[in-house]
Structure 1
Amino acid sequence: MSLKRDDLSRTDFSSLVTGDAVPPTPPGDVLLHEFMVPNALSAGALAVALRVPVTRIEGILWRERAISPETALRLARYFCTSAEFWVRLEANHALRVAQACCGSAIDRDVQPITA
């Protein structure tokens, strides 16, 4: 996600200064701010363009639904990106959320295999 120069004075960088982990950006936020807003697209307009139900797009934007491989293919075709971009965005977000939620417990509970 990019920042505009004018927004720098209003941006909170405290988590970078304190060393606290920056929360993972949900794929729906990337879709909204990097693709929909610059192209003046509503959820309804994008749904029509992708030929999917509007509830699918709204679910992604509202963080209630993951980007499926099929939706990734449709987004890639429409926005001239790759499907891998959308799939990786979703997978990386899910992994970071799982790491934040369960990583320490897994490190305690699961011992690596020894040769």
Structure 2
Amino acid sequence: MKKEIPLSNSAAAMLRDYLEDHELTQSRLAADLHISPQLLNDILASRRLLTPEHCLKLGRYFGNEPQYWVRLQNHYLFRKIQREKAAELAAVTPLKVAS
């Protein structure tokens, strides 16, 4: 049996890197983003996902595009669903178009 490699939440991992690179504490970032420290901790631990609002705030705060954070989060979600629903997806028969 093939052992699955755990998925990494790209957005959470990148946010942890940003905290370290900018020497920010979780408390400081949570306060600056106007979110609870518990929510930020849950996001960093991949217990909660970034919402579009969080992505907008992170983009403004770090001076990058909010879509950057959206793409990271969506990439993780796509891979997660792809893995979780593999059998269901495999059961979908592609449409055959007459040529």
Hey, what's the Cα distance between the residues in 1 that align with 2:38 and 2:96? 48
**Match of 2:12?**
28
- Counterpart of 1:99 in structure 2: which amino acid? Q
Other-structure match for 2:66: 83
**Counterpart residue number, 2:50:** 67
Q: Secondary structure at the match of 1:37?
A: helix
**Partner secondary structure for residue 85 of structure 2:** helix
Match of 1:15 in 2: none
Report how far residue 23 of structure 1 moved.
5.2
Q: List structure 1 segments (4+ residues) > 4 angstroms apart after TM superposition.
A: 20-24
Q: Structure with the greater relative contact order (CA < 8 A, sep ≥ 6): 1 or 2?
A: 2
AA paired with 2:48? R
- Separation of aligned partners in 2, 1:29 and 1:79: 15
Residues of 2 paired with 1:63 and 1:36: CA distance? 15
Q: Please list every run of 5 or more consecutive structure 1 residues that lacks an aligned counterpart in the other structure.
A: 1-19
Amino acid in the other structure paired with 1:57: L
RMSD, matched Cα? 1.8
Question: Among residues 20, 35, 49, which one is paired with 1:52 in the alignment?
Answer: 35
- Alignment partners' CA distance in 2, 1:103 and 1:58: 30
- Equivalent residue number for residue 112 of structure 1: 94
Percent identity over paired residues: 26
Distance 2:64 2:5 in 1: 26
TM-score (norm 2): 0.84
Provide the aligned length of Structure 1 versus Structure 2: 94
Distance 1:91 1:21 in 2: 20
